[in-house]
Amino acid sequence: MKRHIPNFLTICNLLCGVFSVVISTTQFVSLEWAVALIFCGAVFDFFDGFSARLLKVASPIGKELDSLADLITFGFAPAAITSAIILHLMYAGTILDNEQIGFWHYVLIFLPYLIVAFSAIRLAKFNLDERQTCSFIGLPTPANAIFFASFAFLPNLDYFPIWLIESLVVIFSLLLVSEIPMFSLKFKTYSWSENKLRYCFLILAIVFLAIFQLQGFSFIILAYILLSLTDDITNKKFGKIE
């Protein structure tokens, strides 16, 4: 029975992503529920791997199932949320009405789904890349998903520029498949000297959440990227080898 526990948690992750997409595309309830389901999916994603290691029941099918679930929850779902936000901004800004939707409006609405394509590429690379056992190469899909999902909590969202969101979609899609090293939150030990970067990030995350509440998640992901870039540049400058 215990060998099925990680896969059950992975399926829960998958269903969170599916329900998030349904809410984003139909909006029969508040969009914040779609965002909450992504965060729930992230929790299940953490515990499926944790339980597999704890119970020593990791399997190839579990790895493949995890990638499929992540593509929905951290690829498709945030893309659907971002597309829904773009459509909302179009109407809120009186850019269009039901009789004015043209080709370029459709481009703006569907461009966020680039996240799905690049997330698929990133997950496929991750499964084959043996360098990513203790850290990441490129932006992890959960971090990307949390960044875009948190847009739903931004204050004065109606005045947020569409061009900025679209630009971030392109930039972050490229970060997903980039060769930039990104640190992970896996602790081999809990000493400060070996985990300074991780502890600094966690402290920043707590500060951002305390100041900005749910809106702070976008700042947390930006801090994660900047800290990873700084660490990579520092390591290259001083010739440090991980």
pLDDT digits (tens, 9 = 90+) for 92-106: 765 555 556 667 778
Tens of pLDDT, residue by residue over 101-155, are 667 778 889 999 999 999 999 999 888 877 776 788 999 999 999 999 999 888 8
Q: Kindly state whether residue 213 falls inside one of the protein's structural domains.
A: no
Q: Number of folded domains in the chain?
A: 1
Q: Kindly state whether residue 220 falls inside one of the protein's structural domains.
A: no
Query: 166 or 29: which carries more pLDDT confidence?
Result: 166
- Long-range Cβ contact pairs of 218-221 (< 8 A, separation 24 or more): 218/147, 218/150, 218/151, 218/154, 220/146, 221/143, 221/144, 221/146, 221/147, 221/150
pLDDT of residue 241: 45
- Calpha distance 203→183 (Å, rounded): 15
How many percent of the chain have pLDDT more than 70? 93
Q: Kindly state whether residue 196 falls inside one of the protein's structural domains.
A: no
Kindly provide the b/e burial profile for residues 101-124, where b requires at least 16 CB atoms within 10 angstroms of the residue's own CB.
eeeeeeebbebbbbbbebbbebbe
Q: Kindly state whether residue 107 falls inside one of the protein's structural domains.
A: yes
- Calpha distance 155→115 (Å, rounded): 24
Question: Could you list the residue range(s) of the whole structural domain that residue 152 is in?
Answer: 2-130+141-180
Q: Kindly state whether residue 50 falls inside one of the protein's structural domains.
A: yes
Q: Kindly state whether residue 155 falls inside one of the protein's structural domains.
A: yes
pLDDT of residue 208: 94
Please state the pTM of the whole predicted model: 0.88
